[in-house]
Amino acid sequence: MSIGYTILSFVVALGLLITFHELGHYLIARLNGVKVLRFSIGFGQPIFRKRLGKDQTEWVVAAIPLGGYVKMLDENEGSVAPHELSRSFNRQPVARRFAIVAAGPIANFLLAIILYWLLFVLGVSDMKPILGPVEPNTPAAHARFEAGETIVRINNEPIESWQDARWVLLRYAIDQSDKVNVETINKNGEINSRQMDFSKIDPDKLSENFSGVIGFTSFQPSVAPIIDQVVPDSVGYYAGLSVGDEILAINDVEIYSWAELVQQIRNNPGQLLELDILRNEQIITLPITPEAAQEKGKQIGKIGIAPRIDRAEFDKILVKVSYPPLQALLKAFEKTWETTQLTFRMLGKMVTGDVSWKNISGPISIADYAGQSAQMGLVSYLAFLALISISIAVLNLLPIPVLDGGHLMYYLIEIIRGTPLSDKMMLLGQKIGLTLLLTLMIFAIYNDINRLITG
């Protein structure tokens, strides 16, 4: 995946999410008669500007696409002509100011609902919730689950896909629930019900390899060790591997599946290996040294090849989940609400120290996820946009001065007291809020860089 494609996917995503957020502020401000001076997507030097409408609102696209703002007529930010005082933001009743500020995060929630609705109407293809090999010494192993079983219910919630199972289990894992009832059906049609205990799970590890932590893997059809693609300029390319080659053995150890081949390559970074290959009905031997690469802090081997996939076999374990429009809308509301709750719970656990701050992602990680999801197709990209839109809404609702949530906190205090906070208190809050926000950004960028270094 090229850097240019990643950057483009990131800019498109941020542009859409920020525009929706600021449109929320803009539309409710206009609805309440407040004059809008500028609508800006991005910060810094403008690369596009245009004045439009009766109020000659300045529409701007700026050079740094990491946010945006709506500048309204306000006596706190400059002089206001006497005939326009009624259109000044600071002259509005507190309920109107509250609505204008809250409209930004609400717009992001609405965007997430729209995107999830589209996903549920179009249909999402996913793996059936069939279990692969169970990882030893995990909650799944202790509950005696077996490969080949299909998950049908978790605590009475129906499960239709592997993503459904992961999502529901993640909620319980974050809360470290000690009683999670998982109902499965085996190959013989027998229904089994087992209880899982997540109380001893380390929440910090959930973002690294969630399925592996609880012990579940998804079932994968056996793939023959036959090469279908050789990446140009890769180790495999220069070693002489070709499309159609079948790997019979590595260092005289017989290979029966692509998974075994991958395991041998990954376990031997920088080590000379001899591959016995069947090519054109002849057996040949090729030496190859897997390139060493970093993955989640570990060194692994890679040679740049991809397998020949039997689509018919994979289609058997795929399921397409879709709903009629009205039901899809209800599911979209439900999905947005559940994701919002989960995000707030994760943030709460970070504040209490139950979850590490290393789980926070910054612009580099988000850009990477944007590129990956866009490359995987429209459905994955829409799901990514919905998730980030909810994250932006939640972040902006945090009671931190300089964010929307900080202003909403001020307005709630004003409603309770009957009078606004003093300018001195507001200024102090702004300084504290800016410090907190900068600290959060430093954490996020540090985590991004650390992920790049450790792979």
Active centre residues (catalytic): 22
Instruction: Output Rg (C-alpha) for the chain, integer angstroms.
Output: 27
Q: Residue 26 has which token pair?
A: 């803009």
How far from 146 is each of 12, 172, 192, 200, CA to CA, in Å? 43, 21, 11, 21
Q: Which residue has the tokens 């999670």?
A: 180
CA distance 3 to 385: 19
The letter for the amino acid at 277 is I
H/E element, 409: helix 404-417
By C-alpha distance, which of 303, 302, 306 is closest to 228?
306
Q: Which long-range contacts (CB under 8 A, 24 or more apart) does 94-101 make?
A: 94/411, 94/414, 94/415, 96/32, 96/34, 97/407, 97/411, 98/408, 98/411, 98/412, 98/415, 99/28, 99/32, 100/25, 100/28, 100/29, 100/32, 100/34, 100/72, 101/25, 101/404, 101/407, 101/408, 101/411
Binning the chain into helix, strand and coil, the percentages to the nearest 5 are 50, 20, 30
Instruction: Give 348: exposed, middle or buried? Use CB within 10 Å, 0-12, 13-18, 19+.
Output: exposed
CA distance 336 to 345: 14
94 Cβ contact partners less than 8 Å away, ≥ 6 residues apart: 411, 414, 415
Output the CA torsion sign for 234, 240, 245, 248.
negative
CA distance 96 to 28: 9
CA distance 241 to 433: 57
CA distance 282 to 78: 83
177 Cβ contact partners less than 8 Å away, ≥ 6 residues apart: 198, 199
